[in-house]
Amino acid sequence: MALLEIRDLVVHYGKALALEGVSMTVEPGELVAVLGPNGAGKSTLLKAISRVVPISSGDITFAGNSLNPLPAHKVVAAGICHCPEGRRLFPELTVLKNLQLGAYLRDDKDGISADLQRVYELFPVLSERSRQQASTLSGGEQQMVAIGRALMGRPKLLLLDEPSVGIAHRLKVQIFESIRAIQQAGTAILLVEQDALSALGIAGRVYLLEHGHVAREGSSDALSRDDYIRQVYLGV
Ligand SMILES: Nc1ncnc2c1ncn2[C@@H]1O[C@H](COP(=O)(O)OP(=O)(O)OP(=O)(O)O)[C@@H](O)[C@H]1O
Ligand SMILES: [Mg+2]
């Protein structure tokens, strides 16, 4: 059974159609990427899974249970953490406080401090900066806090919305390496990414979203050889 299964998902903003019949799956422990241009509906897809935008029709099931009737906080409790576009940290709070907020639904103190250590191992710079206000960090470091905060919810599925956008190359490489490490430690990841080369390099399978529908899907290897993807998204 797939961990996440989306069937014929339709989402509107008012009368405007944002997703028109999207179907996809994520298996346990899998890293799946969603590629696509601006406005394709990538963020909308993650918001629909998190239940922060209403669903017009279609089904989303997670570990065999429908997410459709759930409010957003129950989706988090079910094991899905969403790291949104633009990071959305609390800028005046310290790095540590921002990370701790990711565990707001948990009360297992030992587990929380073990996970905090794990985040610091993944991103050592955050351990050095833990007492600093989040607003004083670089964009790439703030992205690490955002990913770390999502991990503090100990998700079974991590939703990442364009984690590398606007980040210097060196930090970008580090962020993609940490995403792979998170997957290798057993967490399934649905990664939205505009950088096709990076996405194809890290994901096992990829869906290409265009104008609210799935235009291509397949293994990263197969899609890396696809003429359309090569011309339009890889520029080769
Ligand atoms: N709150 C909203 N109200 C109305 N329309 C919206 C809203 N959010 C998104 N849209 C529209 O829905 C479509 C899909 O938007 P979405 O943010 O999902 O795209 P995206 O693929 O994430 O794009 P980007 O790569 O620029 O982040 C766009 O046409 C967008 O203008
Ligand atoms: Mg987006």
Indicate the top mutation candidate among 13, 55, 82, 194 to test ligand 1's pocket, ranked by most ligand atoms within 8 A of CB.
13
pLDDT at 194: 87
Question: What's the pLDDT tens digit per position in 88-125?
Answer: 899 999 999 999 999 988 899 999 999 999 999 999 99
Residue 13 CB less than 6 A away from ligand 1: yes
pTM (2 decimals)? Answer: 0.95
CA of 19 to the centre of ligand 1 (A): 10
- With vertex at residue 60, the alpha carbon angle to CA 57 and CA 62, rounded to the nearest 5 degrees, is 165
- pLDDT, mean over the chain: 95
> What mean pLDDT do residues 126-144 have?
94
Phi, psi (deg, nearest 5) at residue 121: -70, -40
pLDDT at 213: 97
> What mean pLDDT do residues 69-81 have?
94
Report which protein residue has its CA nearest ligand 1's atom 9. Answer: 44
**How far, in Å, CA of 70 to CA of 107, rounded?**
22
Ligand located closest to 37 CA: 1
> Which two structure tokens, joined as six digits, stand for 223?
């899609």
Rama region for 166: left / alpha / beta (φ>0; ψ in -120 to 50; rest)? left
Phi, psi (deg, nearest 5) at residue 229: -60, -40
Question: What's the pLDDT tens digit per position in 185-233?
Answer: 999 999 999 889 999 999 999 999 999 999 999 999 999 999 999 999 9
Residue 42 CB less than 6 A away from ligand 1: yes
Is residue 87's pLDDT more than 80? no
Indicate the top mutation candidate among 9, 42, 211 to test ligand 1's pocket, ranked by most ligand atoms within 8 A of CB.
42
Q: Which residues partner with 115 through β-bridges?
A: none
pLDDT at 235: 86
Is residue 54's pLDDT more than 90? yes
Q: Which atom of ligand 1 is nearest to the CA of 53?
A: 1
- 27: confidence class by pLDDT, cuts 50, 70, 90: very high
Is residue 75's pLDDT more than 90? yes
Concatenated DSSP letters of 162-200: -TTTT--HHHHHHHHHHHHHHHHTT-EEEEEES-HHHHH
Is residue 67's pLDDT more than 90? yes
CA of 136 to the centre of ligand 1 (A): 29
Residue 41 CB less than 6 A away from ligand 1: yes
> What mean pLDDT do residues 74-90 have?
91
Residue 228 CB less than 6 A away from ligand 1: no
* For the chain, percent of residues with pLDDT exceeding 70: 100
Phi, psi (deg, nearest 5) at residue 174: -65, -40
> Which two structure tokens, joined as six digits, stand for 81?
């953490």
Residue 212 CB less than 6 A away from ligand 1: no
Options 2.40.30.10, 3.40.50.1000, 3.90.1580.10, 3.40.50.300; CATH of 4-88+155-234: 3.40.50.300
Residue 104 CB less than 6 A away from ligand 1: no
Is residue 10's pLDDT more than 80? yes
pLDDT at 193: 93
Domain chopping of the chain, boundaries? 4-88+155-234
pLDDT at 35: 96
Name which of 93, 166, 165, 180 is nearest 129 in CA terms.
93
> Which two structure tokens, joined as six digits, stand for 198?
């990076």
